[in-house]
Amino acid sequence: MSATDPARYRPPMLLAAAAKGSFVTTILILFALGRVNSSMLASAAMDATWVVLFLVAYVRIPREAQNRPA
């Protein structure tokens, strides 16, 4: 959906990155405490990839593109 007009979805990208990042942080802490196994760490690694991709997309999409008329 965001591929059709990425500039329109630029603001929610930060929220999505924060949501994914909170999961990654939680799993890393729980893994360090020995409360989750390595399969959860693999899931967190996938979400960490999404965090990076969301942030790269946020930076690369021009801010001016948000204000253009639809």
Average pLDDT, the chain: 89
pLDDT at 7: 85
Q: What is the value of pTM for the model shown?
A: 0.80
pLDDT computed for residue 50 by the predictor: 96
Q: Is residue 68 classed exposed, middle or buried when 0-12, 13-18 and 19+ CB atoms within 10 A define those classes?
A: exposed
**Could you report the per-residue pLDDT of 13-35, keeping only the tens digit for each?**
999 999 999 999 999 999 999 99
The answer for residues whose C-beta is within 8 angstroms of residue 28's C-beta and 6 or more apart is 41, 44
Residue boundaries of the structural domains of the chain: 6-62
Residue 66 confidence (pLDDT) above 60: no
C-alpha to C-alpha distance for 15 and 41, rounded to whole angstroms: 22
